[in-house]
Structures are given as structure tokens and as C-alpha cells.
Amino acid sequence: MRLNKFLAHAGVASRRKADELIRSATTTVNGKIVTDPALDVSTSDKVYFDGSRIKVSEETVAFMLHKPKGYITSVGDPDGRRTVMELIFVRERVFPVGRLDKDTTGLLLLTNDGALSQALLHPKFKITRQYEAVIDRSIQPIEIQKLKRGIHVWDGEKGKAKVISQKTVKKRTTVVLELTEGKKREIRRIMGRLKIKLFSLHRTHFGPLSLGKLKTGETRPLSEKEIEKLQALCRIKKR
């Protein structure tokens, strides 16, 4: 396996980003610094990235976390902020699939399979995510149509969302939104563009998976069947 693919499968970064990291002399193989992303390595080689040994597991494992507010989605944080990894008590080395920002709650996936993680986030597979947002007014029909087409939110990029339902009670509207790309802070940027105040944001679904009755801060392993569903969506063969 090429070194850049090894880092990607271990969840360090995408293969393209791994190329940059390797060329920056961050990786050693059997005690020697390697700057060639195409170097062939095997699971028996001692591969270290940024001082920590990394491995590619033979078996895919994945977990669902009900992320609370106040935690950042990161494996570690140099500023000492609380991370979601403080809520994970499992033997396997896992990492988050994508991100939920500090103030967003709900369904977060973690896995040891870098290829699966990258595929779930890749726009070409159009894996849906559903969110419940509490806002200060309902989204108007003309705005709903704009969201379907996409509205400019930053750097020439468009934010897109499908409005599934919305209900207003006492001047607060709960809207269910469906996205397929999950760009950085996409919903928050959309609401800012529409001049809508966002009180809370909560992810309830990721692809075929639902948060269900999982309590805030709790984690559960995905079943083999659930993992196979995710792999099938991304056209990944079972390990």
C-alpha cells in the first residue's frame, strides 16, 4: 500500500492532504523520515505520523455519539478545549467523520476506517444529513426555492438545503433541513445570509442512521448491518 493511502486509511487526512503532510517530513517508516508519498508500506511496518504510531485496522468499526453542546469535533486541541474524544471510551483508535461545530448537537459518527470516512463526506455520493434548527421565523416560499438552487454564502460557494418541514410555536420556528454536502458551518452561514436568527442546531440523521433514543453524551457501536449500509452507499467493499 502506498504511504499516502496508508495515512488516509488510518484517518490522518485525505490522500491529497496526506501527500502534503508526507512531503513536509512529518512521517517516519521504521525509524526513517520519508518524504515520498508513493513509498510502499505494509501493516508490519512501523509508521509514525507527527510522533505517534498509526495503524490500519483489518476490521471496520464505527460508533454513534450524541454530541453535547460545548465540545469541539477534534481528536485533540492545542488550546485545551474539550473535544468529543473525551466522551469516547472504546479500545479502538477512532476519529470523527466530519465535524459538528462547538454549539451544534446531535448525531456524530466516529470510525477507524479512513476510506469510509472520506467517502461518507465526498459530495459525489450525496449522503444526506438532516438537522433540526430553531429559528426566529419561518422560511418563506421564495427562500425555500432559493435554498434548493443554492445561495452564495462565502468565497463563491453555494449553500444548499431542502426544507422538509417547519412548525412555528410562540414566535419560534423549528425547521427540518436536509443537506447532502455538509460544508463548513453551512446552515449557520445560510441563516446569516437570509437574516434569520438561529437559536439552536441539532443533527438527527446521517444517511440511513437516526439518532433515535440515544441520550446526550452517550455512545453506541454501529451494528455490522449498519456499517454495511454505509459501505454500500459509498460503494465500498466490506473488509
- Quote the number of domains for the chain: 3
Which residues is 47 bridged to in the sheet?
29, 54
Average pLDDT estimate for 183-198: 93
Instruction: With respect to residue 42, please indicate whether it lies within any of the assigned structural domains.
Output: yes
Residues 227 and 110 in one domain: yes
Cα distance between residue 224 and residue 48, in whole Å: 30
DSSP, residue by residue, 76-95: --TT---BGGGG---SS--E
Instruction: With respect to residue 229, please indicate whether it lies within any of the assigned structural domains.
Output: yes
Residues 118 and 102 in one domain: yes
Domain boundary residue, one of 12, 31, 54 = 54
Query: How do residues 93-110 score in pLDDT, each as one tens digit?
Result: 888 999 999 999 999 999
Length of the chain: 239
Residues 25 and 88 in one domain: no
Higher pLDDT, 219 or 157: 219
CATH number of the domain encompassing residue 37: 3.10.290.10
220 burial level (CB within 10 Å; 0-12, 13-18, 19+): exposed
Residues 197 and 154 in one domain: yes
Residue 160 pLDDT > 70: yes
CA-CA-CA-CA dihedral for 222, 213, 196, 83, to nearest 10? -50
Cα distance between residue 183 and residue 169, in whole Å: 29
- The pTM (predicted TM-score) of the whole model is 0.81
Instruction: With respect to residue 150, please indicate whether it lies within any of the assigned structural domains.
Output: yes
Average pLDDT in the chain: 91
Query: How do residues 116-147 score in pLDDT, each as one tens digit?
Result: 998 999 889 999 999 999 999 999 999 999 99
| Per-residue confidence band for 238, with pLDDT thresholds at 50, 70 and 90 | low
Average pLDDT estimate for 10-39: 87
Instruction: With respect to residue 157, please indicate whether it lies within any of the assigned structural domains.
Output: yes
Instruction: With respect to residue 97, please indicate whether it lies within any of the assigned structural domains.
Output: yes
In one-letter notation, the amino acid at residue 15 is R
Return the C-alpha cell found at 115.
476510506
Pairing outcome for strands 105-111 and 198-206: parallel
CATH number of the domain encompassing residue 107: 3.30.70.580
Residue 15 pLDDT > 80: no
Q: Give the residue numbers annotated as catalytic, written as ranges.
A: 101
Instruction: With respect to residue 191, please indicate whether it lies within any of the assigned structural domains.
Output: yes
Domain encompassing residue 134: 128-206
Instruction: With respect to residue 16, please indicate whether it lies within any of the assigned structural domains.
Output: yes
Tell me if 117 sits within 8 A of 153, measured CB to CB.
Answer: no
| Per-residue confidence band for 214, with pLDDT thresholds at 50, 70 and 90 | very high
Residues 111 and 226 in one domain: yes
Domain boundary residue, one of 54, 73, 89 = 54
Residue 12 pLDDT > 90: no
Cα distance between residue 191 and residue 202, in whole Å: 14
CATH number of the domain encompassing residue 166: 3.30.70.1560
Instruction: With respect to residue 66, please indicate whether it lies within any of the assigned structural domains.
Output: yes
**Which pLDDT value is given to residue 208?**
96
